Each structure stands twice: as structure tokens, then as C-alpha cells.
Chains A and B, each alone.
Chain A
Amino acid sequence: MKRLLAILTLASLALCAGPALAAQKFPTRPVQVLFPFGPSVTYSVSQVAGEALSQELGQPVSVTSTPGAGGVKAALTVMNKAADGYTIFDGYVAPLVLAPLSGNAKYSHKDFKPLYAVASNAFALVCHKDETRWDDLPGFLKYMKENPGKIVYSSGQDFTLRNLVIVAMLKNEGVVGRKVTYQDATEMKDFLAKEFDVMVCNSGQYKTNKDSMRVLAVLSDQPSPEDGIPGPLPKDYGISLGLSGLAAVGWNWWVVRSDTPDDVVQVLREAMYRGMSNPETRKKIEFMGFSPLSPDTYSPESYDRICSDITDQLTDAVGAIEWMNEQVARLGM
């Protein structure tokens, strides 16, 4: 009898606790952000944003590095998780916009519900500090034209924005170079050891080794922010980059699965808005050489318009990769 009473008591307690648990506000446990690449300076930026979101949500926010397939693995992992708002995809332009363009992913940016954009960072074309074969960007392009296939450059994997920006410019100028592919820190090491001629680097790479490099151009059509990479823009020399606005720079937009409940998304959006508006957060991101993106300009409402515009611009630029590969193969290199 006692046993029966105990069971009944437990059952009634469970019945009372059920609705109470359901009514609890999101989030009731830690939130995870899937960062689509290996740990790097860029990872630190996402950690800063994660920290800001954590403070607003009152729950820990961990940023997990899930590298693979140019970020596609992380995107698909998020899509395979529950649409409960506890898993956020750190949507970098490569997996979010470029991978669908390259045929590496069957989703598009429309398959995610946007929160807010975090930061952008322009890339710079840099050569060695003591390089004597050219003085500036026009000189470099002239050298490439006179020596087809001689210059070796590093700009990451094929379908990354870092590569697309430089290849688009080189194709516009009709010059050919050989790309050496790296995935880790050995890239900067080999550049510093002068194993190759030029590289396209991000703000973090520039900031940590700026004394060993000379900026030929910041690959953007917008002036660099105060803490960004200082240097001339291609347009200063009358050279077209072929891309404009956010299409030419790296950026990340935090997104969740498209079928995530609206009330959960709203909680995340409000928290992220406050977090990204916090001057402290913005200062930390700027310190790393990245530009924090304004949550007022890069709002959830503007997500589709901005991503669609970038998709259109990059669709044209993707052909440049194939063009470059063909040219190099033709030279037998």
C-alpha cells in the first residue's frame, strides 16, 4: 500500500511539473554555436560574440569548431540537429553562400532563419616586406603579365571568398599565377620563409605578422576601418575588383534552422541585438582587426536581400576559379 501511495505521489508530482517545465522560458540549457572552420583568429571573433550572447541569455554559449568541406559539414550538422534554437550555425559566407554556388551543398541561405550578422573582414593582398620585383599593385600585375604562371600565391581552398576575390581580380586583369593550397598555420610559416610570393591574408594574419609583409592592396571597395588593414584599394589604381560591398569581404551571420519556432528565434534575436550593440563587444572584435557589423543595418529583415545580392555577384565570380585552373593546366604547371 505504501508503495502504491509513493507511486501515485510521484505520478502526481510529474503531472504538475510537466506544464511547469514546458512553460519555462527558452533557453534552459547551454546553447551551442557551430563554427565551420578550425580554431583561428576568426574563431576568437565568434567566441566574443558567443560571450556577448551568453551574457544576455544567462546561459553558457559554447563555440564548437566543426571543420570540414569548406564549412559545409557544420551547416549540415546544424540542419540535422533539432530546430529548438539550441544550435546556432556560425554562417560564414563560404558555407552559407559560396558552397551552394559551387554545387558543394544542396541548401541555400534561405534554408536558415537569420539572427544577426557578427563581423566582416576585408582581405589584403600582401607580399614580402623586402620584395624588389615590384613596388605596388600595378607593378605586381605587370610582373605577372610578363611572367605567366611564375608567381605562386596562397589564398586558401578553391571555394573560399579569400580565393574568389583574388582570382576574380586576376581574371579581370588577364594574368595567371599558381595557387598553393594550405589549410593550417603552415601557410603563414611558409610565406614568412619566402616559399611563395604573395598571399591573401585576413586582418588577424596581417596584425600578427605585419612587420614581415607589405600590403599591395586591401581587396575591397570600401576604406578599411580604423583597426583594419591599412593599404590602398584596387580602385585607387583604377583596377576593378569585380565585386562590391559585402560580396568582396568575409563575414558571418548567425542563423538557425528555418523551422525553429518564432518565439525561440525572437529570444535569440533580442539577446543577440543587445549583445552586438554592446560597445565592449564591438571593441573586442575591432581589436582583432575585424569590423563589427551594425545590428541595425544587418538586421534579420535585411538578411535575404543582402545574401541574394551577394549570391548574384559571386555567381559571376565563381567562373574565375575554373578559368584560372584551366590557364595553369595549359601552362603545364
Chain B
Amino acid sequence: MNADSFLIAGLGYYLTLPNLAFTAMGVFVGMIIGVLPGLGPMLAIILATPMVMKLQAVTAMSVLLGVYVGGACGGAISAILLKIPGTPINAATVFDGYPMKEKGESPRAIGLAITASAYGGAIGGIFLIFCTPLLAAVSMKFAPAEYFALALTGVICIVIVSQDSILKGSIMGVLGLLASTIGIDPFINVERFTFGSVYLMNGLNLVATVLGLYAMAEMIFQVQRGRLSDSPGIKGFLAPFSVLTEPFKQWKNLLGSSTIGTVIGALPGVGAVVAALVAYSAAKSCSSYPEKFGTGIPDGIIASEASNNACVGGSLIPTLTLALPGTAIAALMLAVLMLFGFLPGPDLFNNSPEMVGGLFLAYGISNIFLLILGLLFTPLFVSALNMKKQYLIPVIMLLCVVGAYGIETNITDVGVMVILGFLGYFLVRNGYPVAPFVLAQVLGNIIEYNFRRTLTLSGNDYSVFFTRPVTFGILIANIVAFTLILTPLLPWLKRRFFGGRNG
């Protein structure tokens, strides 16, 4: 069967008024949950699952897909308005989103995040519908050696996104890589840096880390700055109409970032955090004005948001075709699909084309609802966060505590968040960016585990990194990129190490 026949089969199955209404509801709930720091789509889907089990399968999946799509975008709103990524996948949106808010362009920035997300998601949807077999095949070509090489590319991206200080950014990146080693080594069953703590057996929780380093640290800054009876002073609530066309004016960025998001989403185990980072770095590297990235330009928001929403579509490809969930949320969706009696994998496409078509349509229409509801409710989001600091700070703190606790209903996550909050405050105060830490923490395990897997598979033969064409190609590209990054540093290095000696 081809894409058209799936869509036709899905039309009658999905396209009913209740299904559309439930999809819209899912998108709206996802956006709200995404906006609230710490309460990401994962938590929303866990909580929604028992409720949607009473619905028909396609309706239930539409709600969950809507939550997934809405949640992936909702986190951008708090990233822009509060400098707090609602979910870890919006971390790269902070780079340009918050500076735009500082310039008094909040509605435009939010509008761009919504349109870029919807367009990125739609492009991801087109890939999902028409290129599923191709992307599934590409995903199969990625073995541990390729994952290792690709994750190294991610590390180079850390350097690219280290705004002002490459050295301080790199230090934070290395610390993030070290933090990723905390926990039980799954290969040899040995505890690493857990100090006997049960909590640390699974490493530092990513959501607690992001809430601490971003949200808590930012709230401490806000308190320190005083003038608590001031409101954030956001001017204008309506997103300008120009945001509808602005992403198209940067069509190369939009298309490139969406493609990166889809492809990375299709690789199980990488995820949207990395997708957004890589897309942001790629947009910056390919731009004719890279120095403006991080100062509040639309390009950064478009890259980050288009890619993380396209990643949703990408992650559905291995989930549906091979029953291989690309992300933890996709794994939950797979579980729900099975609860309804649909077995993902090749059989799903042969036996239930209407379900496949229904899911394709639900995903595509979720992105349309995201565009409509997002722009419609932008004033609501902006005005809700425009309250006086003396009210806003406690509300955010409360949400962070609920969010951190809600991940695994573990109070230690709250403690970790508070500790990292103070740490984040001191780091940022001294000019150390926190984004490289978070991103390296995600990349660390991918690098380490896949490096070790590669060597197990090859029988400790290191030549495998040079004999696999894709791995070798990515590694060469990494070396070239790294050299290019170091080039501007050469005069400084020369001065630092040779200039002083000569002088």
C-alpha cells in the first residue's frame, strides 16, 4: 500500500467531528502543560492515558498525539517569556527567544515559535506520510558506531551554541559529560559516583536538572534584582500577522531544521533535545550573520522549534513501522496503541491501514490546530505571565516543585532541583552558560554506551570507526567542523601561549 491509500483508509476512520474536537483538546491541553515549567507532555500523557482508554482507539490516539504536538511547542512560550524552557526540548529556544522578549517582542517571538512549530511539524508529517519506508531504512543504517559519531557532532554543537565564551561553554560541556556518567553502569553493573544513594542509581534526572539550572536559578536572579511589585512589562499581547509568513521567508532554515528534526526523531534513542541543538547549530553555522544568533533574532527560534516539532513526526516512524519507539513519549504511545489491540510493526500497515492513516491525519491536523489555537491563545499566555513578580515567582516555584516531584513522585528530585538552582545561579552569575551542561548530559550516555557497544560488536577492533562509510564520513565532518571552530581562536591561542613568552 502507498501513502495515498493509507490516507484514504484513514479519512473515514478519523475525520469525524468528535475526533477533530478531541484532537484540538489534546493540542490545547498539551500547550498548557508544556507552558508550565516541568509539566511536559510525558507527564500529561501518563495522566491522560487512563482517561482516554474509555474512548475509541483512534480518538484516544488523537488526544495523545495532540498532547505530544502541543506539549513540544508549549514549552517554547515559557522559554521565551521566563527564560525557562517548559520542557528540556525547548532549551535551545531560550537562546534567541528570551533576548527577543527583552527587546519587547514577546508576542512576535511566541507567534514565531508557534508558526515554526506548526510548519516544522507539518513538514515532519509530510516526511511521515510519504517517506516512512525511506527514513525507516536510513534509521536502520545507524548502528552504534554511527550513533557515536553523530553524538560527537552534538558535542561540537555545544561549542557552537556557547554564546560568548567558548572556553566556559566547553567547561560546562565537559561537566555535563561527567554528570552523565553518574549512576549504575549498565554494561558491568557497577555503581559510578552514586555515593550509595538510591536516587543517583539512574543518574541525575534531566527534568529536575533543567528546572534547577534554568527555572530556579532564574527565580533567584529575579528575587535578587528586587522591585518585586513590578510586572515583567510585556507590551502588546497579539502576535503580529507577519509571523505567519516569517518562517517561509527563511525557508532554507525551516526546511533544513525540520529535516534535521525528522531524521533525528527517526533514530531511536537520540531525541528532540539533540535535534533542536543540532538544528540551531546548523542554522547558525549556515547563516550569513552567525554573530547575531543569541541576540534575539527569529532564525534561532525557527530552527529550534521547527526541529523539535518535526522530531515528533520523525519519532513516530520507527514506532509505527518497527515498534521501535524513538523517544520515551513514543514508547508510551506504542504502549497505548497495544492496549487498544493494535500491534505496531509491519503488521499494523498490512492489517490496520485505517489506523495508520488515522494516525497520519491526526498528526497532521494536530499541527493545524497548533497553529490556530496557539495564535489565538497567545494573548492569554502572555497576559498570564505578565503578573507582578511577587506573584509570578511563587507560582513558578510552586510549579517547579510540582513538576520535579511529578516525574517519578520522588521528593529527592525536588532537592536536586533546588541544589542545582543555586549552582546554576552562581554559574550564570560568573558567565558560565548552563545549556552546554544540559545538552552534554543528554549526549554523554549516547556517546559512551555506543562507543562501548561498537567495540563489543567489533571484538575490540578500533578500525571499525574507519571502515564503516557513514561513521567515517560523520567523523571527518566532525574534524572539519572542529577545525573551523578553532580557527577564530588561533590568534588568541597564539597570544596566550606564544605572545606572552615572546613579550
Q: Is the CB of A188 within 8 A of B341?
A: no
**When A39-B331, A288-B338 are in contact, do A182 and B202 touch as well, CB less than 8 Å?**
no
Interface size on A, residues (CB 8 A): 61
Q: Is the CB of A186 within 8 A of B147?
A: yes
Contact among A32, A51, A80, A182 with B453 in the assembled complex (CB-CB below 8 Å): A182
Whether, in the assembled complex, B11 has its beta carbon less than 8 Å from a beta carbon of chain A, the answer is no
Residues 58-107 (chain A) with a chain B CB within 8 angstroms:
60-62, 64-70, 72-73, 76-77, 80, 102, 104
Given the interface contacts A48-B339, A180-B453, A181-B186, does A32 sit within 8 Å of B202 by beta carbon?
no
The answer to whether A184 and B187 touch (CB under 8 A), given A41-B338, A48-B339, A189-B324, is: no
Q: Mark B440-464, 1 if CB is under 8 A from A, else 0.
A: 0000000001001100110110000
Tell me which of A115-123, A137-145, A191-199 binds B: A191-199
B291 touches A (CB below 8 Å): no
Looking at the assembled complex, report how far the CB atom of B195 sits from the nearest CB atom of chain A, in whole angstroms.
Answer: 14
- Say yes or no: B335 contacts A40, CB within 8 Å: yes
Instruction: Let me know if B49 is at the binding interface, CB within 8 A.
Output: yes
Q: How far is the CA of A159 from the CA of B191 in the complex (A)?
A: 14
Docked-complex contact A209 and B460, CB < 8 angstroms: no
B206-232 contacts to A (CB < 8 Å)? none
Interface of A is mostly: mixed
Residue A132 lies at the interface, judged by CB distance under 8 Å to chain B: no
Residues A40 and B331 in contact, CB atoms below 8 Å apart: yes
A62 touches B47 (CB 8 A): yes
Contact status B343-A158, CB under 8 Å = no
Q: Of all chain A residues, which has the CB nearest B461? A: A333
Contact between A190 and B339 (Cβ–Cβ < 8 Å)? no
Contact at B322–A61, with CB atoms within 8 Å? no
- How many A-B contacts at CB < 8 Å in the complex? 151
Q: Chain B residues near A186 (CB, 8 Å)?
A: 144, 147, 268-269, 324
User: A179 to chain B: which residues have CB within 8 Å?
Assistant: 456
Does A38 have its Cβ within 8 Å of any Cβ on chain B? yes
Q: For the complex, is A298 an interface residue (Cβ under 8 Å from B)? A: no
Determine which residue in B328, B338, B345 has the highest number of CB atoms from chain A within 10 A of its CB, and name it. B338
Whether the Cβ atoms of A64 and B408 lie closer than 8 Å is yes
Stretch at the interface among B135-143, B279-287, B417-425: B135-143
> Nearest CB to that of B53 among chain A residues?
A51
Please, which residues of chain A bring their CB within 8 A of the CB of B324? 185-186, 188-189
Cβ of A284 within 8 Å of any chain B Cβ, yes or no, is yes
**Chain A residues closer than 8 Å to B186, beta-carbon distance:** 157, 181, 183
Q: Is A171 an interface position by the 8 A CB rule?
A: no
Distance of A192 Cα from B141 Cα, bound (Å): 10
The one of A76, A152, A184 that contacts B198, using a Cβ cutoff of 8 Å: A76
With A149-B459, A193-B143 in contact, do A184 and B339 touch (Cβ < 8 Å)?
no
Asked if A24 is at the interface of the complex by the 8 Å CB criterion, the answer is no
B34 at the binding interface (Cβ < 8 Å): no
Residue B12, interface by CB 8 Å: no
Which residues A136-164 have CB closer than 8 A to chain B? 149, 152, 157-159
A80 to B198, CA, bound (A): 11
A276 CB to closest chain B CB (Å) equals 16
- A184 B268 Cβ-Cβ under 8 A: yes
Q: If the complex has contacts A64-B408, A189-B268, are A47 and B49 also in contact, measured as CB distance less than 8 A?
A: yes
Whether B335 contacts A67 by the Cβ 8 Å rule is: no
> With a CB–CB cut-off of 8 A, which chain A residues contact B198?
69, 72-73, 76-77, 80
Cα distance, A287 to B144, chains bound together (Å): 32
Q: Is A44 an interface residue (CB 8 A)?
A: yes
Question: In whole angstroms, what is the CA distance A309 to B296 when docked?
Answer: 65
B328 neighbours in A (Cβ, 8 Å)? 38-39, 65
Residues of B contacting A66 in the complex (Cβ-Cβ under 8 angstroms): 408, 410
Cβ–Cβ contact A44 & B139, under 8 A: no
B184 interfacial contact with A, CB 8 Å: yes
Chain B residues with CB under 8 Å of A195's CB are 143-144, 457
Knowing A188-B322, A287-B341, the reply to whether A73 touches B202 (Cβ < 8 A) is yes
- Asked whether any CB of chain A lies closer than 8 Å to the CB of B402, the reply is no
Query: For the complex, is B126 an interface residue (Cβ under 8 Å from A)?
Result: no
Most buried by A among B187, B199, B331: B331
Distance of A46 from chain B, by nearest CB (Å) = 9
Give chain A residues whose Cβ lies under 8 Å from the Cβ of B144.
Answer: 186, 190, 195
Complex Cα distance, B139 from A193, in Å, reads: 9
Residues of B within 8 A of A60 (CB): 50
For A61, A102, A193, A208, which residue has the most chain B Cβ atoms within 10 angstroms? A208
Could you pull out 13 A-B pairs where Cβ atoms are within 8 angstroms? Answer: A66-B410, A68-B184, A77-B408, A77-B410, A180-B453, A181-B449, A181-B456, A184-B268, A186-B268, A189-B322, A192-B140, A208-B343, A208-B344
Using CB atoms and an 8 Å cutoff, list the residues of chain B in contact with chain A: 46-47, 49-50, 53, 139-144, 147, 183-184, 186-189, 198-199, 201-202, 268-269, 318, 322-326, 328, 331-332, 334-336, 338-339, 341, 343-347, 408-410, 449, 452-453, 456-457, 459-460
Given contacts A62-B50, A193-B143, 19 further A-B contacts (CB under 8 A): A47-B49, A50-B50, A62-B47, A64-B46, A65-B328, A69-B198, A72-B201, A77-B408, A179-B456, A183-B449, A184-B268, A186-B324, A189-B139, A189-B140, A193-B141, A195-B457, A209-B322, A209-B323, A211-B346
